[in-house]
Amino acid sequence: MNQDELKQAVAREAIRHVVEDDWIGVGSGSTANFFIDELAKIKGRIRGAVASSVATAERLKSHGIPVEELNNTGELPVYVDGADEVTEHGAMIKGGGGALTREKIVGGASRKFVCIVDASKVVPVLGKFPLPVEVIPMARSFVARELARLGGQPEWRMGFTTDNGNLVLDVHGLAIVDPVGLETTINQIPGVVTVGLFARRGADAILVGTPQGVKSIAARKP
Ligand code: 5RP
């Protein structure tokens, strides 16, 4: 099975977590896109979806799935999204596609976070994948210096603007042994909008696509 087939398999499995006649929060990226394609097959059985990016909203609409604003739905029962890295505790690095802020908002507004990944994304320690940090444009250099003081090597994602009109710094060289602590520390730097560490509110369930089938891991909270 190639990586896309593994992503497709977890996307199919994630449909079991969708609550009928209710809202579903939908993430961004290629794995989330496969999930949207699966969701389209049961669109008559859900109330509608809340999107974590403009691209996701467009894909949902192209399938005829109603898209609603989070402000109008209240708490969501379930949020389904991919990740760039995830530990068995459910801590994640997200934001490879730059949608981290809205992903964190919609995930935070959901009772259950279902993370869907292929096996290459499951790691013992986060940080090999550069950690995305969304920043207010005028704070870019200042935040980069602060991130360097924390031991990382921030790199400006040139030519990229988030759905919120901000910039992204990708931080290389971090071995993230305390994801909750680092998330809190980076959140406190003035000018940071969102850090792509999802640890204080991590995944509750992780579906992992392997050549032997989809493995379901209930996140073991540290
Ligand atoms: C986008 C994300 C994605 O979930 C993450 O980048 C994984 O993407 P993919 O499913 O394409 O590997 O956080 O901001």
pLDDT tens digit sequence for 39-93: 999 999 999 999 999 999 999 999 999 999 999 999 999 999 999 999 999 999 9
pLDDT of 199 > 80? The answer is yes
pLDDT of 114 > 70? The answer is yes
Q: Which pTM was predicted?
A: 0.97
DSSP 18: P
- Residue 222: pLDDT band (50, 70, 90) is low
Angle among Cα 101, 13, 121 to the nearest 5 degrees reads 50
Which is nearest to 171 in space by CA: 134, 210, 220? 134
pLDDT of 221 > 70? The answer is no
DSSP 52: S
User: Over the chain, what is the mean pLDDT?
Assistant: 97
Q: Which of 30, 53, 166 to mutate to test the pocket of ligand 1 (most atoms within 8 A of CB)?
A: 30
Q: Give the residue whose CA is nearest to atom 10 of ligand 1.
A: 31
Q: Which of 6, 31, 101, 126 to mutate to test the pocket of ligand 1 (most atoms within 8 A of CB)?
A: 31
> Under DSSP, is residue 197 helix (H, G, I), strand (E, B) or coil?
strand
